[in-house]
Amino acid sequence: IAALKEAFEKAESGSGQVVGILGEAGVGKSRLLLELRGALPKGEHAYLEGECLHYGGLMAYLPLLDILRTYFDIKEGEREFVVKKKMSDQIAQLDDKLEGILPPLHDILSLKVEDLEYLMLEPQHKRDRIFEAIRDLLIRESQNRPLILAVENLQWIDRTSEEFLTYLIGWLANAPILLIILYRPEYTHQWASKSYYSQIRVDQLSTTTSAELVQSILEEGEAVPELRELILNRAAGNPLFMEEFTHTLVENGSIQKKDHQYVLSIKASDIQVPDTIQ
């Protein structure tokens, strides 16, 4: 968290930063993000977040659509004219010189584009205009107050969004923007060569820390050694799995509290791990 706060302070002073948070599923990457937001004074920065989905690799701009919908406060099922009015009002309030970014933003959000000049462009030129529009929007917003931009699960990112991030990162050096990217070890990228890139690796918990986490979850009693070993062995240091598995054992009656201790009510070998937490 200290490294993230330091990166934010650099971005706040006008030196844009990119931080990669790397770790296996469930080790606490997203929790770090939450802790950073909780540690910063509210109202003094803008925060926008997009997420890549495991089936979204073929869906162009997926995490960027999240970011734009949040920025313009676009709700599911809203009428097109309502969405367009929200967008034009927001842009006019931000900077009336940015009116020209609306056609490409309408395009990416699957709204009707009425700008004939834009419609006549070749697909590659339209893509260039979309990249420029999102960049101009984010950089101009960051000039009002520092901007934290987070993109989760980059191991599933679509190619167009990845190309946009490469494009945006090239413009960040002198912008008050902190870009935080979260991904699993199998994902590789070319951004580490940037002087303003840093990486945080989130590892599995040690046995001692894992035991402390189990005890904090079962705060009303002590876990007997057999139960503690079961949870630690099944979770293998993954805090999210550990938390969900322990709560599941309590909820389904596999463990019970007796005389200030939590004990197994069935054989350890009979305990199945639910599909939802595998």
C-alpha separations of 93 from 67, 100, 141 in Å: 18, 14, 11
Q: What is the DSSP string of 110-125?
A: TPPP--HHHHTS-HHH
- Which of 54-58, 187-191, 264-268, 271-275 shows the lowest mean pLDDT across its residues? 271-275
Position 276 pLDDT exceeds 60: no
Kind of pairing, strands 147-152 and 177-183? Answer: parallel
Q: What is the DSSP letter of 41?
A: P
What are 48's strand-pairing partners? 149
Locus of tokens 């406060």: 73
Which uninterrupted H or E stretch holds 151?
Answer: strand 147-152
* Structure-model confidence comparison of residues 66 and 258, the more confident one: 66
Question: Which tens digit of pLDDT belongs to each residue from 109-164?
Answer: 999 999 999 999 999 999 999 999 999 999 999 999 999 999 999 999 999 999 99
Planar angle of CA 27, 228, 207, nearest 5 degrees: 45
- Which of 36-45, 83-92, 182-191 shows the lowest mean pLDDT across its residues? 36-45
Q: End-to-end alpha-carbon separation of the chain, Å? A: 28
Q: How confident is the model at residue 220 (pLDDT cuts 50, 70, 90)?
A: confident
Of the CATH numbers 3.60.150.10, 3.40.190.10, 3.40.50.300, 3.30.70.20, which one belongs to the domain with range 2-201? 3.40.50.300
Question: Which tens digit of pLDDT belongs to each residue from 102-114?
Answer: 999 999 999 999 9
Cα–Cα distance for residue pair 266/1, rounded to 1 Å = 40
Contacts (Cβ under 8 Å, ≥6 apart) of 270: none
Q: What helix, strand, coil percent values describe the chain, rounded to 5?
A: 50, 15, 35
C-alpha separations of 241 from 36, 84, 155, 247, 274 in Å: 22, 43, 20, 10, 11
Residue % of the chain over a pLDDT of 90: 59
